[in-house]
Amino acid sequence: MATTIPPARRVGMVSLGCPKALVDSERILTKLRADGYAMSADYDGADVVLVNTCGFLDSAKEESLAAIGEAIAENGRVIVTGCMGNEAQVIRDRFPEVLAITGAQQYEAVVEAVHEAAPPTQGPFVDLIPQQDVKLTPRHYSYLKISEGCNHACAFCIIPQLRGKLASRRIDAVLREAEKLVAAGTQELLVISQDTSAYGVDVRHEERLWKGHPVRTHMTDLARELGQLRTAEGRAPWVRLHYVYPYPHVDAVIPLMAEGLITPYLDIPFQHASPAVLRAMKRPANEAKVLERLKAWRAICPDIAIRSSFVVGFPGETEADFQYLLDWLDEAQLDRVGAFRFEPVDGATANALPDPVPEAVKEERYARIMEKTEAISAAKLAAKVGRTIPVIVDEVGEPDEDCDIGATGRSQADAPEIDGSVFLRDVPAALQPGTIVDVVVEDADAHDLYGALA
Ligand code: SF4
């Protein structure tokens, strides 16, 4: 007798916010798939839509509310999760028809809400669904989240309130996940957390066994072991370290970069340079010797790319503080910089600080920092013209009227979504995203490079 397989319930997902939220979305979808749900790429085909929100800045909250509104209008059956879930009343007031609201990292609660809203199909075949992880990034790069939460109390930030204290994942579990991702085709691992340098502090850097030898729950052990992974082609995958604070032990990963085991790239959110502003911001690893360390790192690994972000117009920032920052940037010669105008965040202690900077002054300082960092970036990229560099291909285009095909990729100095691109001309149609190719750089502007296959 033939058995009819009941169709699986379908879940749609709208994922907003930072890479950490994207990893949460992947984890929720992985669990739902294991429970027998299928994914829906559009609103129409979904039995229920999950909106993973970001609630950090007011602008992100508005974007989250707009996404919830759209999902309700298009589908009607909506569950809200993520950082903005901690403000359930604001969501309920605006959208009383939302089925359930859960907060950040409440994986079980959100999965339970989906079970209630669209009970999973019962059938003998559900157990046969492969237990493969769901990825929302392209196959060739993956975020690797090593911890949740943060032990600091930066004045402008509410992450510790939203996500709690630092909770590090077991290092053997992180390494196993990395190994699986690389075996499944990942060419680039992006290590993320709120404070990567603090990895393992909460568990006193406990040791675990990995491949027969002990490894500590520590950023340097993690970097060393990730540097041992090999792709199917026998290459070390690119490994990028994000959200690294310049604690002394960061020095130990620079030789790994020089040896080609870890990608020569460090994302260090400095946020400012003036000691007075850093003190007011209550920033971790706020010490004076950073410029000397940058110099020492570059002596060991000349190709290291440093990316950072800065806040201008923090309460109490004087013209002298801001000028100090500009002069510091001249010295630091950072490769990639993101700048933000200070914006009060509900619940942040910075809101109570005296001497707010007028909006017009914030705008003017923002324009000046952008001008400075663009000039530094343009000069650094211009120096790459004529060199041959490895580039990972993200996308291959369609042939134009002359049958030429272009592709977009990234150098080792470019993380996906936040940094620049390398635009390639005249690539073969068979070139696949995820391939790492040698490229001769032919031209550059303030953010991007242009070139052709070597
Ligand atoms: S280090 Fe500071 S800015 Fe980063 S998550 Fe922790 S409190 Fe927020």
Task: Pick the atom of ligand 1 nearest to 284's CA.
Answer: 1
- Please tell me if the CB atom of residue 164 comes closer than 6 angstroms to any atom of ligand 1: no
Q: Say what the pLDDT of residue 129 is.
A: 42
Q: What is the pLDDT of residues 225-281, one digit of tens each?
A: 999 999 988 999 999 999 999 888 899 999 999 999 999 999 999 999 999 999 999
State in Å: Cα 134 to ligand 1 middle: 28
Nearest Cα to Cα of residue 28 among 104, 107, 82, 85: 107
pLDDT of 7 strictly over 80: no
Range from 21-25, 138-142, 259-263, 441-445 carrying the lowest mean pLDDT: 21-25
pLDDT of 360 strictly over 70: yes
Task: Pick the atom of ligand 1 nearest to 158's CA.
Answer: 8
State in Å: Cα 311 to ligand 1 middle: 13
Q: Say what the pLDDT of residue 6 is.
A: 62
What integer is the mean pLDDT of 404-431?
Answer: 95
Ligand 1 pocket, mutate which of 20, 158, 159 (most atoms under 8 A from CB)? 159
Q: Say what the pLDDT of residue 127 is.
A: 43
What integer is the mean pLDDT of 125-144?
Answer: 68
State in Å: Cα 76 to ligand 1 middle: 36
What integer is the mean pLDDT of 339-353?
Answer: 90
Task: Pick the atom of ligand 1 nearest to 163's CA.
Answer: 5
pLDDT of 128 strictly over 70: no
Ligand 1 pocket, mutate which of 56, 57, 154 (most atoms under 8 A from CB)? 154
CA distance 453 to 392: 12
For the purposes of burial, counting CB atoms within 10 Å of the CB of 306, is it exposed (0-12), middle (13-18) or buried (19 or more)? buried
State in Å: Cα 152 to ligand 1 middle: 6
Strand 265-267 and strand 305-312: the pairing is parallel
pLDDT of 213 strictly over 50: yes
State in Å: Cα 284 to ligand 1 middle: 8
What integer is the mean pLDDT of 99-128?
Answer: 75
Nearest Cα to Cα of residue 380 among 330, 424, 340: 330
pTM of the model: 0.81
Q: Say what the pLDDT of residue 452 is.
A: 97
Among protein residues, the one whose CA lies closest to atom 4 of ligand 1: 194
State in Å: Cα 48 to ligand 1 middle: 34
- Please tell me if the CB atom of residue 278 comes closer than 6 angstroms to any atom of ligand 1: no
pLDDT of 328 strictly over 70: yes
The pLDDT mean for the chain works out to 90
Task: Pick the atom of ligand 1 nearest to 271's CA.
Answer: 3
